[in-house]
Amino acid sequence: MFNFEFYNPTRIVFGRETVARLDTLIPAEARVLILFGGESAEKTGTLHEVRTALGARRFMEFGGIEPNPSYETLMRAVALVRQEKLDFLLAVGGGSVIDGTKFVAAAAEFAGDPWSILETMGQAVTRALPLGAVLTLPATGSEMNYNAVVTRQETKTKAFFASSHVFPRFSILDPVKTYTLPAHQLANGVVDAFTHIVEQYLTYPAEGRVQDRFAEGLLQTLIEIGPKVVNEPADYDSRANLMWTATMALNGLIGAGVPQDWSTHLVGHELTSQFGIDHARTLAIVLPSMLQTRRASKHAKLLQYAERVWNISEGSDDARIDLAIAQTRHFFESLGVPTRLRDYQISAGDIDTLVSRLEAHGMTQLGEHQDVTLAVSRQVFEASL
Amino acid sequence: MFNFEFYNPTRIVFGRETVARLDTLIPAEARVLILFGGESAEKTGTLHEVRTALGARRFMEFGGIEPNPSYETLMRAVALVRQEKLDFLLAVGGGSVIDGTKFVAAAAEFAGDPWSILETMGQAVTRALPLGAVLTLPATGSEMNYNAVVTRQETKTKAFFASSHVFPRFSILDPVKTYTLPAHQLANGVVDAFTHIVEQYLTYPAEGRVQDRFAEGLLQTLIEIGPKVVNEPADYDSRANLMWTATMALNGLIGAGVPQDWSTHLVGHELTSQFGIDHARTLAIVLPSMLQTRRASKHAKLLQYAERVWNISEGSDDARIDLAIAQTRHFFESLGVPTRLRDYQISAGDIDTLVSRLEAHGMTQLGEHQDVTLAVSRQVFEASL
């Protein structure tokens, strides 16, 4: 096990009818900005519940935060916060809204050019407004971590930052809030959480038994509940387990003390920025090919994955690894998530562009061994056609 | 899954040579009290390392905190803290020292009679001195929770309190610090952590898949590493996994959203207070008999435990449950931990006293169904003879 530090002060309030708890979680004198995405927050009644819970507090609202939240949009929220002297941010939505809110929290208190928050990957952040979240879409884990991804539209650049100043003070996780989600968003959530876990698990053995067992348990849970999550809109238990799994998948716990990969995410980002494919769907395309392409360096862990996650214990090493990767692909497809570039009309002729984008973004040495070069990424794209 | 709240702000600093990190973890202007137990903290060099790491900070030391830390001893530390206006407490030791330090932290800032901290089970605590810990004995999980058990010697009463004000600000977990521990203390640590997990897992199914998989993974880890932990004093990886498992066993995570039992602990407490048996050893005596006695109400979860923890999938339900309980007892015995009252010269004639102690302490309706009456506890003692 590697040396590590683990710190996560976000308070999770989990369960039915927990939105009303906002009244005790947000200071009575706070001047609140509610941030949200599209119209669903209003239509589903969640915004109404939030407003009711805030009681006599002064609050304003800022809607329209996009999937892959844009720097340009968020800077308008920053301007509003400063102008109106708002001092508590409440994200109501999924990972994009919460990521965006983290950026607003840091940027509103930032003296220089806020873009440098992203250029320094958060190192420049020394303070931030307090923020909380009401999670409506389980997937990214943003509700219990200090990371955020922001996209600069003018340059099609996905930029990442992390700072302990932007941990949500609390996140409210009510599984009932997911009942109204469309199936494709839930499927995306399952794939996103699944891939987050794999990025921290499927590397090389490092004697992190606790971390491995936790990761395997989360993967098994997603495999068990995935079909119900997508097909049964009002099944509380599967939604609750999805929500808690997705949070645990990226709150720092399973990755503490073990090697991490993240190449699938970084390669997938180019598919989002170039072709607008949903984040989770890029992962479904890239992950099976990434595992296939790097099966030699991930050999031991792929065998462990085959046995402990997919119960595959028969056949040669190669056969077991083949089957485990095939099962992974099949699992994503079974949820209605395509796993091929051709499903998005992307062909071999587009690969040069994708590789040059990776190069332009400095993504030339990815993965737990920094051996995912541009040549390897090219192989991954080719294997994904 | 039940509604739950999860909050744990303790910073874990894990790994080799991490004691030096105290210099960045404790404020430079702090007036520190180092609290420890017996002479081993000095002999092993840990206290020396701690003093070095504190650098120019003013500090005092308070040794002699007992296993099952006593109210009387701790109140002497409270007097010292107040007299010398110390403002940061650093526990160096295992669960008893950390539990004791939590009490000192709360009592030193408490206006009324500090015993009422325990009488109110922590409800009366509104503030506490900040505390940190250097863990030397993995077992109780006190390094990452807000619980403490304190014993009043004059009345032989074990009293419990919990307060979010006494979460350690940080805990340093260096597995190398366990190399010098005697085998019986390590065995106790394995049993203690194992039972903490079982108390939160082996109840009844509640659709907490994440919690169940985490609990099973921790139990499997203890079963795998237990023999190495006890027999190989300098095996870093098994000690690291023990340390992280014991912390995860009682930091609130696996018990969030699922039913909890704790009857084994509460029944075992009487064996400690009446006969002075080590806490963990009382658990090894009580747990197998408790599971046997309550096998009907725990039927479904016992079968799950048999299959997922012990890989027992053959035979009738009863046979599988019998085998799982027998394996549990065998596991404890294999670590050198006895599981029978007769191993401590306690006989049938002592049971009346034990049951009357339970009654005097109000322990008449224990367990996840509150159905562990005095009659059930008597059965458990009888089955433990």
Q: Per-residue confidence at A251, pLDDT binned at 50, 70, 90?
A: very high
Please give the pLDDT value at position A182. Answer: 95
Q: What pLDDT digit, counting tens, does each position of A165-187 carry?
A: 999 999 999 999 999 999 999 99
Residue A204 contacts B where some CB pair is shorter than 8 Å: no
Quick check: A142 and A283 in contact, CB under 8 A?
A: no
Q: What is the mean pLDDT of residues A31-46?
A: 95
Residue type, B27: P
Q: Which CATH number describes the domain made up of A11-177?
A: 3.40.50.1970
β-bridge pairing A88-93 and A4-14: unpaired
The pLDDT of residue B49 is above 90: yes
Residue B18 contacts A where some CB pair is shorter than 8 Å: yes
Q: What is the mean pLDDT of residues B258-273?
A: 96
Token pair 């949200």 in the structure block, residue: A36
Q: Per-residue confidence at A11, pLDDT binned at 50, 70, 90?
A: very high
Q: Which of B244, B304, B308 to mutate against chain A (most A CBs within 10 Å)? A: B244
Considering only CA atoms, give the Rg of chain B: 20
Token pair 């994503």 in the structure block, residue: A332
Triad A314, A203, B9: Cα angle to 5°:
120
User: Rounded distance, CA B221 to CA A83, Å?
Assistant: 54
Token pair 């600093």 in the structure block, residue: B13
Number of CB pairs, chain A paired with chain B, less than 8 A apart: 121
Helix H, strand E, coil C: the string for B159-192 is EEEECHHHCCCEEEECHHHHCCCCHHHHHHHHHH
Quick check: B264 and B305 in contact, CB under 8 A?
A: no
Q: What is the largest CA-CA distance in chain A?
A: 66
Q: What pLDDT digit, counting tens, does each position of B141-194 carry?
A: 999 999 999 999 888 788 999 999 999 999 999 999 999 999 999 999 999 999
Q: Per-residue confidence at A156, pLDDT binned at 50, 70, 90?
A: confident
Residue A256 contacts B where some CB pair is shorter than 8 Å: yes
Residue B232 contacts A where some CB pair is shorter than 8 Å: no
List of residues 6+ apart from B113 with CB closer than 8 A: none
Please give the pLDDT value at position A17. Answer: 97
Q: What is the mean pLDDT of residues A126-134?
A: 98
β-bridge pairing B157-162 and A88-93: unpaired
The pLDDT of residue B346 is above 90: yes
| Mean confidence (pLDDT) of chain B | 97
The pLDDT of residue B335 is above 80: yes
Triad A68, A74, A78: Cα angle to 5°:
160
Residue A5 contacts B where some CB pair is shorter than 8 Å: yes
CB neighbours (10 Å) of residue B84? 12
DSSP state string for B282-328: HHHHHHHHHHHHTTTTTHHHHHHHHHHHH---SS-HHHHHHHHHHHH
* Chain A residues whose beta carbon lies within 8 Å of the beta carbon of residue B7: 9-12
Token pair 């009290």 in the structure block, residue: B33
Q: Which long-range contacts (CB under 8 A, 24 or more apart) does B115-119 make?
A: B115/B71, B115/B152, B117/B161, B117/B163, B118/B71, B118/B150, B118/B152, B118/B159, B118/B160, B118/B161, B119/B159
CB neighbours (10 Å) of residue A349? 7
Token pair 């006599």 in the structure block, residue: A56
Closest residue in B to A168 (Cα) is B7
Q: What is the mean pLDDT of residues B186-210?
A: 98
Tell whether ipTM is more than 0.95.
yes
- Is A3 in Cβ contact with B14 (below 8 Å)? yes
Helix H, strand E, coil C: the string for chain A is CCCEEEEEEEEEEECCCCHHHHHHHCCCCCEEEEEECCCHHHHCCHHHHHHHHHCCCEEEEECCCCCCCEHHHHHHHHHHHHHHCCCEEEEEECHHHHHHHHHHHHHHCCCCCCHHHHHCCCCCCCCCCCEEEEECCCCCCHHHCCEEEEEEHHHCEEEEEECHHHCCCEEEECHHHHCCCCHHHHHHHHHHHHHHHHHHHCCCCCCCHHHHHHHHHHHHHHHHHHHHHHHCCCCHHHHHHHHHHHHHHCCCCCCCCCCCCCHHHHHHHHHHHHHCCCHHHHHHHHHHHHHHHCCCCCHHHHHHHHHHHHCCCCCCHHHHHHHHHHHHHHHHHHCCCCCCHHHHCCCHHHHHHHHHHHHHCCCCCECCCCCECHHHHHHHHHHCC
Please give the pLDDT value at position B78. Answer: 98
Q: What is the mean pLDDT of residues A16-27?
A: 98
User: Rounded distance, CA B49 to CA B90, Å?
Assistant: 13
User: What percentage of chain B has pLDDT greater than the value 70?
Assistant: 100
Q: Residue B233: in which H helix or E strand, if any?
A: none
| Mean confidence (pLDDT) of chain A | 97
Structure tokens that stand for A175 in this block: 């599984």
Which residues on neighbouring strands pair with residue A84, listed in sequence order?
Answer: none
The pLDDT of residue B39 is above 80: yes
Instruction: Look at chain B and count its residues.
Output: 385
Q: Per-residue confidence at A199, pLDDT binned at 50, 70, 90?
A: very high
Residue A323 contacts B where some CB pair is shorter than 8 Å: no
Which residue in B2, B216, B224 is closest to A15 by CB distance?
A: B2
Residue A137 contacts B where some CB pair is shorter than 8 Å: no
CB neighbours (10 Å) of residue B49? 18
Q: What is the mean pLDDT of residues B193-201?
A: 98
Residue B244 contacts A where some CB pair is shorter than 8 Å: yes
Token pair 């805990």 in the structure block, residue: B171
> A161: distance to nearest CA of chain B, Å?
21
Please give the pLDDT value at position B154. Answer: 84
Please give the pLDDT value at position A49. Answer: 97
User: Rounded distance, CA A64 to CA A174, Å?
Assistant: 22
List of residues 6+ apart from B240 with CB closer than 8 A: A1, A207, A257, B14, B15, B175
User: What percentage of chain A has pLDDT greater than the value 90?
Assistant: 96
Please give the pLDDT value at position B111. Answer: 94
Quick check: B35 and B89 in contact, CB under 8 A?
A: yes
> A234: distance to nearest CA of chain B, Å?
14
User: Rounded distance, CA B140 to CA B189, Å?
Assistant: 7
Q: Residue B95: in which H helix or E strand, if any?
A: helix B95-108
Closest residue in B to A5 (Cα) is B13
User: Rounded distance, CA B135 to CA B172, Å?
Assistant: 6
Token pair 């996650």 in the structure block, residue: A309
Residue B127 contacts A where some CB pair is shorter than 8 Å: no
Please give the pLDDT value at position B370. Answer: 97
> B221: distance to nearest CA of chain A, Å?
7
Residue type, B231: N
**Which CATH number fits the domain B183-383, given the four candidates 1.20.1250.20, 2.60.40.10, 3.40.50.150, 1.20.1090.10?**
1.20.1090.10
The pLDDT of residue A153 is above 90: no
- Give the three-state DSSP class for B197: helix
Q: Per-residue confidence at A202, pLDDT binned at 50, 70, 90?
A: very high
Q: What pLDDT digit, counting tens, does each position of A339-378 carry?
A: 999 999 999 999 999 999 999 999 999 999 999 999 999 9
Triad B52, B148, B121: Cα angle to 5°:
145
Please give the pLDDT value at position B363. Answer: 96
Structure tokens that stand for B325 in this block: 């309980």
Q: What is the mean pLDDT of residues B351-356?
A: 98
CB neighbours (10 Å) of residue A64? 14
Q: Per-residue confidence at A155, pLDDT binned at 50, 70, 90?
A: confident
List of residues 6+ apart from A111 with CB closer than 8 A: none
Smallest CA-to-CA distance from B329 within B271, B263, B285 is with: B285
Q: Where are the domains of chain A?
A: 11-177, 183-383
